[in-house]
Amino acid sequence: MHRITGKAGGDSLIEMSPTDSFNDDVNGYHLHVSSSTGSLQPEQSPSPLTPDVCVETCDSLNTSLASLAQSEHSDSPRHESETLERIEALTGIDKQQHSKDSVFFRDGVRRIDFVLSYLDDKDGERKQERRKMYEANLVNVGLELETEDKSESDDGKTYFVKIHAPWEVLATYADVLKIKVPFKVNDIPDNGDMPMNWLSTPFRLPEHIMHPEPDYFTAPFDKSKSDFFLIDDKATFFPPSVRNRIVYYILSRCSYFKDECGVKDKKGIKRLLNNCTYTAAFPLHDCRYWTKAKDANCESERYHLHKHWARFFCFYKEQPLNLIRKYYGEKIGIYFAWLGFYTEMLLFAAIVGTLCFVYGFLTFDNNQWSKDICSAEIGGNIVMCPLCDKKCGYWKLNSTCNSSWQSHLFDNVGTVFFAIFMAIWVTLFLEFWKRRQARLEYEWDLVDFEEEQQQLQLRPEYETKCTNRKLNRITQEMEPYLPITSKCARTCLSGATVVLWISLIIACIIGVIAYRLAVYAAFASIMKDNPTTNLQVVGPYITPQLATSVTASCINFVIIMILNLMYERVAVWITDMEIPKTHLEYENKLTVKMFLFQFVNYYSSCFYVAFFKGKFVGYPGNYAYMFGSTLRNEECDPGGCLIELTTQLVIVMTGKQVWGNIQEALVPWMMNWWGSRKARNHPESLYSRWEQDHDLQGFGQLGLFYEYLEMVIQFGFITLFVASFPLAPLLALINNIIEVRVDAWKLTTQFRRPVAAKAHSIGAWEEILNGMAVLSVVTNAFIVAFTSDMIPRLVYMYAYHPEGELNMEGYISNSLSSFNISVIPAENRPDDDENPSWFNSSIDTCRYRDYRYPSGHEKQYSHTMQFWHILAAKLAFIIIMEHVAFLVKFFVAWMIPDVPSDVRARVKRERYLVQEYLHNYEVEKLKIQLSENVHEECNCSPMIYPCLPKHEVLSECL
């Protein structure tokens, strides 16, 4: 390869052999000038020069190049520009035409598979040496390079190195990576038509968008048998997503030092990006997202994705999963397939949850216990004991009237039904997703992907950091490995770091609890005369409990966001320190760490309110305090703690989703707007395809990881605590409808094209979802039993109602115990100025939420028999609900096979055809070879092989 290489500062140096001349165009060579860098390739010129004018043209061209070489020490960009214009005029190359929106080299033939960019750093001699050696090694492995000078970039500082992978390189690495390619059109009839299929017509997309290419039987590519596969055009046989994946595989393993230097860890584009030798490395989008490419050879798939998928007004349309997979690769395609399926299944949960909420609203007037709390005769005459020491006064039960009515919306008979329904729903979701995933694995050639390919692709970081080698007993090749002592030490350090950060989260949660205890006393003191009742609309609803719960939830949400930002970096650091072997292992390790942290971070406050608040309070005269401090443990309202759990869930879940969508959409848009502000001052014809993509944000190796994490955390909210808030699936559904289009929009318009990657499933997230599904049955059973008041009410109605009738009259008085005010210790009594104006010395008892004998009883202040009956009923309910839910889950999982029968048949047929066709292919080649050899030696025909049936595809392959 002959190259014209550029020096720093815009100077140019021509490197040619003494026998080369610019008359090579006549002999099949064409000069491709790219600013200060070009290449000479044995390709035909698009506009060849005739012999009559060749001498004159070449003389003029040599004169121009000589003048350019003489300006080696000149700093005049105008002189260089004029010379380049003369070169373009003489060679017939239109610089503007190829710079506008093209994804090809300047010859218009070779496709740009990858782009590297770097800045003109006059002090970076080491960086320049690395780039020179790295690019030379890329050329040695067969890649073709073309460099755009900084004078052509919009900022005047950035060089762009365009990379093209020729057929030989693609075929070689497709063989190494076992990439599946078509060898026969799929001949199995599609019987997937659904009855009344016309009802889905408004939701469908055009057929050429949903299925951009025919359905084929595929087999791993074998370079030695290339004529076996359906290769119509080598230039388009491998789609751009496969091409950029192969090139990135090469870039990740190519060294930037000479082999004789003995520096084995000096390789890979990732290290070059980290040490700022290159500023970016990315494949190109095929066009601008708002208009089709003018070049007929460009697919314009980005435009179609934006038009039919990324716009918000397409929210009711199906997703073009096949086009997503073709453009972005299987890994991103699997994510959007899972997200779309999850959103569809949420529709059923949202409908049932909304119906349960409506049931609570319609039975509003039948809520007898709330009527008793709000009535002046019952609730107005019940004096409650102080909820904190010194600063909290006595209060009347009817002050919690509003919270009691609000609690009924979520704490009713429908809550039990919905908890059981969600246990079944989550099982159906996971089982049907397995079937959907199995179908995608077949359709996208991902069957046996992990065994055939994933284990072969070691991480470059693992190869460079593991200097030890050992023999692989299976492959009989020497491979790098990490000694067991080093692995144990790294694992221990990683585990200690995780434990330390989880302890930090727990400490923060304890701090929020302390805030709740301290601030509640302040709110109770400030609001003792109900000053908020003067506020219109919201005044009567503001209580010390509500004010404390809302402010604590908001503070907890802020702490969650701050800890997230800090731990993301820590999780990546400790995962890198462990040096995982493969990309799959790296992502799984990072997934476990991040999810464990997020689980504690997001759910710990909800677990506290659901299972700890109000459970360890004590009673007047014998209260429990937080870690021996002066802060008394919190009590629940007479209506229960469920409404507080609902408040906590709404604030954290809604806040996270709103903040996530704003962050995902607004931040990339603002950064791109700021980064491309200089380009808007240039004519569009100078703003090339690679410059447009360079100004976009990089998607990053972990971009998809954070999308999964966000959805799995949401999945936890709608399953673990859904019994407290039946509207959670509805909020999740609305968020996900927006999430699909926001993710599609930002991926299509705001981010560079990610490197295509394969994945046969959603990875470790599937096991996490299964674990959360099992845990959700337990948590919802405990919420109904211990957080809700459902069980105490049922026990009272069926066993303790005085008249034997099935109603709830008298329940409130029955659920409250009495205490003699005169024996309350001085340290627990409220200050004189904290008691309300209606309190006087004639009131000698106060009530508190518990089942204990009154003062004067022989068992005073110990638990009554009703307490133990209720506790037994709660435990019985938990056992029954869990067993019923798990039996239904296992039965449903057993009834629904993980792989559909038609997919299983297709997989078997494809494997059969691959073996049969390859066997026949080899036999035919041997027969032809033997027949040629025999004809040279004798006239007899060989009868070594019997006649075998031939297939149509065999004649095409041969």
Mean pLDDT score of the chain: 78
Mean pLDDT of 88-92: 41
Per-residue pLDDT tens over the stretch 814-864: 889 999 888 888 888 888 777 888 888 888 889 988 899 988 888 888 999
**Confidence band, pLDDT 50/70/90 cuts, at residue 94:** very low
Mean pLDDT of 446-457: 60
**Confidence band, pLDDT 50/70/90 cuts, at residue 341:** very high
Q: How far apart are CA 104 and CA 298, in angstroms?
A: 9
Per-residue pLDDT tens over the stretch 113-128: 999 999 877 667 888 8
User: What distance, in Å, lies between the first and last C-alpha atoms of the chain?
Assistant: 33
- Contact criterion met (CB below 8 Å) for 591 and 572: no
Nearest-5° Cα angle at 924, 921 to 930: 140
Percentage of the chain exceeding pLDDT 70: 79
The beta-strand segments (E) located in 80-205 are 114-119, 144-148, 158-164, 180-185
Check: pTM over 0.85? Answer yes or no. Answer: no
Alpha helix ranges (H) inside 384-454: 401-410, 413-443, 449-452
The packing angle between helices 413-443 and 330-362, to 10°, is: 160
Q: Tokens in use for 869? A: 């009956």
Mean pLDDT of 693-707: 86
Q: How far apart are CA 295 and CA 639, in angstroms?
A: 69
pLDDT of residue 615 exceeding 80, the answer is yes
Nearest-5° Cα angle at 672, 691 to 104: 20
**Confidence band, pLDDT 50/70/90 cuts, at residue 557:** confident
The alpha carbon torsion through 393, 398, 403, 404 (nearest 10 deg) reads 130
pLDDT of residue 69 exceeding 50, the answer is no
Bridge partners for 746 per DSSP:
none
Nearest-5° Cα angle at 712, 708 to 715: 145
pLDDT of residue 752 exceeding 90, the answer is yes
Higher-confidence residue: 693 or 39? 693
Q: Where are the domains of the chain?
A: 114-179+221-284, 797-876
Listing DSSP states for 666-694 in one string gives HHHHHHHHHHTTTGGGS-GGGS-HHHHHH
- Strand 37-41 relative to strand 30-34: parallel, antiparallel, unpaired? antiparallel
Q: Tokens in use for 644? A: 């507080």
Listing DSSP states for 544-570 in one string gives HHHHHHHHHHHHHHHHHHHHHHHHHHH
Tell how far CA 642 is from the center of its chain: 32
pLDDT confidence of residue 141: 92
Listing DSSP states for 3-25 in one string gives EEEEPGGG-EEE---TT--GGGG
Listing DSSP states for 291-344 in one string gives S--SSTTS--HHHHHIIIIISGGGTTSPP-HHHHHHHH-HHHHHHHHHHHHHHH
pLDDT of residue 73 exceeding 60, the answer is no
- Contact criterion met (CB below 8 Å) for 562 and 659: no
Identity of the amino acid at 899: V
The listed range with the strongest mean pLDDT (1-15, 42-56, 75-89, 664-678) is 664-678
Strand order, beta sheet including 158-164: 144-148, 158-164, 114-119, 280-282
pLDDT confidence of residue 943: 38
pLDDT of residue 530 exceeding 80, the answer is no
pLDDT of residue 938 exceeding 70, the answer is no
- Contact criterion met (CB below 8 Å) for 253 and 266: no
Higher-confidence residue: 677 or 514? 514
Mean pLDDT of 580-603: 85
CA-based nearest residue to 590, from 604, 570, 561: 570
**Confidence band, pLDDT 50/70/90 cuts, at residue 49:** very low
Q: How far apart are CA 886 and CA 225, in angstroms?
A: 52
pLDDT confidence of residue 67: 44
Q: How far apart are CA 318 and CA 106, in angstroms?
A: 39
Residue 687's Cβ-count burial label (10 Å; 0-12, 13-18, 19+) is: buried
Dihedral angle sign, alpha carbons of residues 60, 66, 70, 75: positive
- Contact criterion met (CB below 8 Å) for 631 and 514: yes
Higher-confidence residue: 952 or 576? 576
pLDDT of residue 72 exceeding 60, the answer is no
The listed range with the strongest mean pLDDT (418-432, 522-536, 910-924) is 418-432
**Confidence band, pLDDT 50/70/90 cuts, at residue 159:** very high
Per-residue pLDDT tens over the stretch 259-291: 544 455 577 898 888 888 999 999 999 888 988
Per-residue pLDDT tens over the stretch 183-230: 888 777 766 555 556 667 778 888 888 888 888 888 889 888 888 888
pLDDT confidence of residue 542: 65
Q: How far apart are CA 235 and CA 110, in angstroms?
A: 9
Per-residue pLDDT tens over the stretch 755-771: 998 888 888 899 999 99
pLDDT of residue 53 exceeding 60, the answer is no
pLDDT confidence of residue 523: 73
Residue 518 makes CB contacts below 8 A (sequence gap 6+) with 631
DSSP summary character for residue 615: T
